[in-house]
DNA sequence: TGTCAACTAACAATCATTGGTGATACCTTG
DNA sequence: CAAGGTATCACCAATGATTGTTAGTTGACA
């Protein structure tokens, strides 16, 4: 996604108003590689604006998605994750324990389908999701007894 | 998954009882390649047993998943899809319009990650989801602007 | 400065799924 | 076959993430 300043221009030119809470969300998303959920954006935003409502978070994330500035991901963790990185196509690593999501910048060269394998489908995107254990949860699992916090905000 | 008869033995040997409704579900899943949701299994089951409850469907699908006889998939259509094919590893084609899911029997040879790309993750499974248009929806889309009845939420 | 979108708070509704009742049916083992 | 215990059913409630609604207030910006 673009910089908060560029988003300000974009929002205005698309008939939207630029409020303090929206700019707060712009700033929070800027450079965030954790693929945050609406909920976790809300928590982070509340540190700067105590009264910001979850509704506003959803609203703004929806707007940003509509404008193509961020991507809404469903990686099977139960909540929609938002990805500010829409510039370079990439895939994802998803931790099966804590649900943390990391970018996978590898491009797979040989993912085209053999003739006839598409079954008449008109192919669009191909998304690859690697599931496994993040460094933290791997440590916790191998160290014994301490299971990772189920759903939450990984470091 | 195994045949209904084999599942009957398996259920008994795992301390579960084999009821008429469970056998009905076994039969329905047998050879079903549509990756049905709990809801659609219920609809199909009601044709044979009018009073079978959705609760029972969920219960039995859960049991089958627990036993590893079927797989529970989240392909982003809003409902869990169940896959009786757990024998050969495969990927999936998902229609962006109607949510239909088809198997993709292609094995991608070069999906291992370059050294260092795993970021400390302990890799488990790699699932590939191709999104596009199924034959039916492709026809409907190119012919006119009225798509088929959406079965799931549009991605 | 005035207008209208955006915000908040509080609440209801959605949708897939799971969890509780009791009451009844019926599978399985002895 | 009979007993005991699980499964099922109908009904209804509770999740949890998300969206909608209302009403009153703030604030962006032309
Ligand atoms: Mn990403
Ligand atoms: Mn499949
Ligand atoms: Zn983890
Ligand atoms: Zn389709």
Write out pLDDT tens, residues A70-118.
999 999 999 999 999 999 999 999 999 999 999 998 877 767 767 677 7
Contact B132/B93 with Cβ under 8 angstroms?
A: yes
Instruction: List CB contacts of B135: < 8 A, sequence separation 6 or more.
Output: A119, A120, A121
Estimate to the nearest angstrom the gap between the alpha carbon of B106 and the chain centroid.
18
Residue with tokens 């079927």, as numbered in its chain: B70
Q: What is the pLDDT of residue B143?
A: 61
For chain A, the maximum distance between any two Cα atoms, rounded to a whole number of angstroms, is 56
Quickly state the pLDDT bin for A147 (edges 50, 70, 90).
Answer: very low
pLDDT of A118: 75
Residue B147 in this model has a pLDDT that exceeds 50? no
Quickly list DSSP for A55-112: HHHHHHHHHHHHTTSSEEE--SSSS-EEES--SS--EEEEETTT--EEEE-PPPTT-P
Cβ neighbours of residue B9 closer than 8 Å, sequence gap 6 or more: none
Residues in a beta bridge with B123: A132
Q: Where in chain A is the domain with CATH 3.30.1490.190?
A: 88-155
Are B90 and B143 within 8 A, CB to CB? no
Report CB contact under 8 Å: A121, B132. Answer: yes
Percentage of chain A surpassing pLDDT 70?
Answer: 87
**Span between the terminal Cα atoms of chain B, in Å:** 29
**Per-residue pLDDT at A146:** 44
CA of A50 vs C1' of C28, distance in Å? 61
CATH 1.10.10.10 domain position(s) in chain B: 1-87
Query: Which protein residue's Cα is closest to nucleotide D16 at C1'?
Result: A78
Which residues does chain B have within 8 Å of residue A106's beta carbon, measured at their own beta carbons?
Answer: 113-114, 117
How would residue A120 be classed by pLDDT, with cut points 50, 70 and 90? confident
B 5-64 near A (Cβ less than 8 A): none
Give the model confidence (pLDDT) of B4-56 as tens digits.
999 999 999 999 999 999 999 999 999 999 999 999 999 999 999 999 999 99
User: Within an 8 Å CB–CB cutoff, is residue A78 touching chain B?
Assistant: no
Assign a CATH topology to domain B88-155.
Dna Ligase; domain 1 (3.30.1490)
Q: Is the CB of A62 under 7 A from strand C?
A: no
Between the CA of B5 and the C1' of D8, what is the distance in angstroms?
21
Which residue's structure tokens are 């036993």?
B67
CA-based nearest residue in chain A for residue B80 = A76
Candidates A119, A132, A135; nearest CB to B93? A119
Collapsing DSSP states into helix, strand and coil, what is residue A42?
Answer: helix
Distance from CA of A107 to the nearest CA of B (A): 9
Is the CB of A131 less than 8 angstroms away from the CB of B130?
Answer: no
The answer, for B140 touching chain A at a CB cutoff of 8 Å, is no
Structure tokens at A76: 């099977």
* pLDDT tens digits, A44-59: 999 999 999 999 999 9
Phi (first) and psi of residue A128, to 5 degrees: -110, 130
Distance, CA of A9 to CA of A22 (rounded, Å): 12
Domain range B1-87, CATH architecture? Orthogonal Bundle (1.10)
| pTM for this model (two decimals) | 0.89
Average pLDDT for chain A:
89
User: How confident is the model over B52-78, as a mean pLDDT?
Assistant: 97
Enumerate residues 6+ apart whose C-beta is below 8 A from B132: A121, A122, A123, A124, A125, B93, B94, B95, B96
SS3 B45: helix
Q: To the nearest whole angstrom, how far is the Cα of B98 from the nearest Cα of chain A?
A: 12
Angle separating helix axes A20-29 and A54-66, nearest 10 degrees: 70
Chain D nucleotides reached by a protein CB under 7 Å: 5-12, 16-21, 27-30
**Mean pLDDT value of segment B90-118:** 84
């Amino acid at each position: 996604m673009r910089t908060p300043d560029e988003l300000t221009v974009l929002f205005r030119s698309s008939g939207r108003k630029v409020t303090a809470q929206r700019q707060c969300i712009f700033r929070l998303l800027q450079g965030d590689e954790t693929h945050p959920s609406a909920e976790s954006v809300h928590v982070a935003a509340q540190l700067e604006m105590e009264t910001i409502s979850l509704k506003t978070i959803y609203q703004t994330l929806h707007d940003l998605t509509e404008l193509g500035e961020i991507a809404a991901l469903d990686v099977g963790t139960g909540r929609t994750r938002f990805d500010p990185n829409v510039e370079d196509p990439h895939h994802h690593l998803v931790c099966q324990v804590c649900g943390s999501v990391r970018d996978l910048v590898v491009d797979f060269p040989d993912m085209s389908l053999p003739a006839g394998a598409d079954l008449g489908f008109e192919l669009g995107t191909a998304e690859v999701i690697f599931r496994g254990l993040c460094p933290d949860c791997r440590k916790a699992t191998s160290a014994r007894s301490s299971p990772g916090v189920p759903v939450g905000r990984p470091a």
